[in-house]
């Protein structure tokens, strides 16, 4: 019987894929732990565990459903140099006449799978992942390489295309965007009302032992019991939990940040869904997530208001699909972009959290603890600091790619190199997301616990972000001067007395020269 080898990558755990509609003994499914995947960047241990545990659970589920599955661990694949070497060996061993794969979401893997040489007589066939809402073939119509596309316009077209939150051809409630209503701060007292996050206790001790046995390099807090969902059932429970307990306040506190206190277990995730890992590995389909949230909204009879549901839909239907489009339209050049010529090394405290800057200490500390930070922590705390300090976007990308449980290059890179670092010169957003201590003071309670004074711009106790902000704006004046969204900032800088400007710039320079000791 002619045999087909079908590859399932670690982020292709889509039980609803048409591949699995019927069983076929002539098809072998391959799910493999590989050193090329543990080693392409320096990963958080919880990220590797979440991927490996989910792959194992998926293999078990396929096996139970009657499919022929080869689930290989690092012990089985250690002798193979890379994925092509493994595929070739298996094709020869089983006399495969066909090798099939789903189109990878990552450029690196797509090139590898399209280009390696198969054994003679073995054909290669590429399938769609059947996951994204915008068909891969339509990316070219929506995005042009090297050209800015406005996410807001893209999002509106997606709302119309999928008839989501629409009244005829008008947006429900008369507005497309409720962002202005979604900027609330959370106080320490309000933290008590935030529901404790639903977490899981998946045993991953055997995986951690395997990583040790094979000398796989990793960092972050290792826990033998993993809190991330690793099965479709767990992912669905997390989705239900979100719709019931968190969606009613999702948009309202989307941008809020709050420092951890001893014993509190809610401050790290607040009203965020923590669904990104489950969606990115395709245990959940984005439309399934949107449908569940819309159903909860309709059921709630006003308890969940329009601003909350619109805020959530925009993330999945808008941002997630948008960054994927930017990635594919602009790769491989995108990975080389460094529009602001940033070259500084990433400070060592990004790997330890050991810094006097409370905002960074909290955001990095929780990232090391949970392999998770919510969007505003990624954008406005760690990302903002790297932007202001001019850290090399290659190093920033590698850090984000390694530390977060949901990090895959197609979504990590446009968010980091693009939205956060402006290294793409403005393909994701029209302005740099730069901020001083004021922003942190407005959206978090970090500053109250900090050794630095958020109200001061100069002096040795002044908040480093304040002077770094003006140093950044000053050294990139040529780039941002004529940006309509930033012009006002230069006008207020120009009104400042020159000696004050010089003192701020001197403090900013001192912070850059002593960046590792801040």
Binding site for ligand FAD (CB under 6 A): 272-276, 279-280, 315-316, 319-320, 323, 374-375, 378-379, 383, 400, 404, 406-407, 411-412, 415-416, 419-420
**Nearest distance, CB of residue 363 and ligand SF4, angstroms:** 10
Q: Say which entry of ligand FAD, ligand SF4, none residue 131 contacts (CB below 5 to 8 A, set by partner kind).
A: none
Which residues are 68's β-sheet partners? 28
Provide the minimum distance between the beta carbon of 444 and ligand SF4 in the complex, in angstroms, as a whole number.
8
Q: Does 8 bind ligand SF4 (CB under 6 A)?
A: no
Cβ nearer to ligand SF4, comparing 83 with 447: 447
Q: Which one of 25-33, 199-207, 393-401, 444-452 is the stretch in contact with ligand SF4 (CB under 6 A)?
A: 444-452
Asked whether 449 and 490 are in contact (CB, 8 A), the reply is: no
Give one DSSP letter per residue of 377-428, joined into a string.
IIIIIIIHHHHHHTB-HHHHHHHHHHH-TT--HHHHHIIIIIIIT-TTSSSS
For residues 325 and 154, is the Cβ–Cβ distance under 8 A? yes
443 near ligand SF4, rule: CB under 6 A: no
E-strand ranges in 77-118 read: 96-102
**Residue 504 touching ligand SF4 (CB under 6 A):** no
512 binds ligand SF4 (CB under 6 A): no
Q: What is the closest distance, in whole angstroms, from the C-beta atom of residue 276 to ligand FAD in the complex? A: 3
Beta bridge partners of 202: 226
Which listed range, 110-118, 241-249, 422-430, 459-467, lies at the site for ligand SF4 (CB under 6 A)?
459-467
Residue with the two structure tokens 């000053």: 474
Q: Work out whether 452 is an interface residue with ligand SF4 (CB under 6 A).
A: yes
What is the smallest separation between the CB atom of 171 and ligand FAD, expressed in angstroms? Answer: 19
Q: Where does 240-321 show beta strands of DSSP type E?
A: none
| CA–CA dist 259, 359 (Å, integer) | 8
Which pair of structure tokens corresponds to residue 127?
């399938």
The reply to whether 446 sits near ligand SF4 by the rule CB under 6 A is yes
Compose the 413-442 pattern: x for residues touching ligand SF4 by CB under 6 A, - for all others.
Answer: ------------------------x--x--
Nearest to 395 by CA among 449, 451, 338, 352: 338
Least gap, CB of 315 to ligand FAD (angstroms): 3
* 247/512 with CB nearer ligand FAD: 247
The residue within the footprint of ligand SF4, chosen from 109, 113, 316, 359 (CB under 6 A), is 359
Residue 329 contact partner, candidates ligand FAD, ligand SF4, none, CB within 5 to 8 A by sort of partner: none
Residues in a beta bridge with 391: 344
- 353: Cα separation from own chain's centroid: 20
Site for ligand SF4 in 338-357 (CB under 6 A): 357
Q: Applying CB under 6 A, which of residues 12, 249, 358, 415 lies at the interface with ligand SF4?
A: 358
The helix-helix angle for 487-494 and 464-475 (nearest 10°) equals: 110
Query: Percentage helix, strand, coil, to 5, in the chain?
Result: 50, 10, 40
Minimum CB distance to ligand FAD smaller for 406 or for 424: 406
Burial 57-74, CB ≥16 within 10 A → b, else e: bbbebbeeeebbbbbbbb
Which are the contacts of 259, defined by CB distance < 8 A and separation ≥ 6? 267, 358, 362, 444, 445, 446, 449
**What is the binding site for ligand SF4 (CB under 6 A)?**
357-359, 437, 440, 446-447, 450, 452, 454, 463-465
């Amino acid at each position: 019987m002619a045999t087909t080898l079908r590859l399932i990558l670690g982020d292709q755990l889509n039980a609803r894929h048409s591949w699995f509609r019927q069983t076929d003994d002539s098809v072998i499914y391959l799910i493999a732990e590989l050193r090329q995947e543990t080693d392409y960047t320096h990963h958080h241990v919880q990220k590797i565990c979440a991927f490996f545990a989910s792959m194992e659970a998926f293999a078990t589920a396929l096996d139970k459903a009657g499919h022929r599955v080869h689930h290989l661990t690092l012990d089985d694949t250690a002798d193979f140099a890379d994925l092509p070497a493994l595929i070739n060996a298996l094709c020869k061993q089983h006399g495969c006449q066909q090798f099939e794969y789903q189109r990878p979401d990552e450029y690196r893997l797509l090139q590898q799978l399209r280009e390696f040489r198969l054994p003679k007589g073995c054909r290669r066939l590429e399938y769609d992942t059947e996951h994204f809402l915008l068909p891969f073939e339509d990316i070219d119509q929506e995005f042009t390489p090297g050209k800015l596309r406005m996410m807001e316009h893209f999002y509106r077209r997606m709302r119309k295309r999928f008839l989501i939150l629409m009244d005829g051809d008008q947006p429900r409630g008369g507005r497309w965007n409720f962002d202005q209503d979604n900027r609330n701060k959370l106080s320490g007292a309000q933290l008590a009302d935030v529901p404790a996050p639903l977490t899981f206790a998946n045993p991953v001790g055997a995986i951690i032992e395997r990583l040790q046995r094979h000398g796989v390099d990793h960092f972050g807090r290792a826990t033998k019991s993993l809190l991330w969902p690793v099965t479709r059932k767990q992912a669905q429970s997390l989705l239900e939990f979100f719709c019931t307990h968190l969606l009613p306040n999702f948009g309202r506190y989307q941008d809020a940040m709050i420092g951890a206190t001893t014993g509190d277990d809610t401050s790290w995730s607040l009203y965020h869904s923590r669904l990104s890992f489950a969606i990115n590995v395709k245990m959940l389909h984005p439309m399934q997530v949107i449908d569940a949230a819309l159903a909860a909204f309709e059921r709630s009879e006003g308890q969940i208001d329009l601003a909350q549901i619109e805020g959530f839909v925009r993330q999945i239907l808008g941002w997630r699909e948008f960054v994927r489009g930017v990635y594919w339209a602009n790769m491989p050049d995108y990975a080389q972009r460094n529009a602001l010529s940033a070259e500084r090394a990433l400070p060592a405290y990004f790997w330890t959290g050991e810094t006097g800057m409370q905002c960074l200490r909290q955001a990095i500390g929780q990232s090391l603890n949970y392999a998770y930070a919510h969007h505003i922590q990624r954008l406005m705390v760690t990302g903002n600091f790297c932007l202001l300090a001019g850290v090399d976007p290659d190093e920033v990308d590698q850090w984000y790619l390694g530390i977060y449980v949901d990090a895959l290059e197609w979504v990590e890179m446009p968010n980091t190199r693009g939205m956060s670092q402006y290294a793409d010169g403005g393909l994701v957003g029209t302005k740099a997301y730069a901020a001083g201590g004021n922003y942190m003071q407005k959206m978090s309670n970090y500053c109250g616990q900090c050794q630095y004074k958020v109200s001061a711009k100069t002096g040795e106790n002044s908040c480093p972000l304040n002077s770094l902000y003006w140093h950044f704006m000053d050294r990139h004046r040529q780039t941002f001067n004529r940006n309509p969204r930033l012009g006002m900032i230069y006008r207020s800088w120009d009104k400042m007395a020159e000696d004050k400007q010089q003192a701020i710039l001197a403090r900013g320079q001192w912070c850059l020269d002593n960046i590792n000791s801040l």
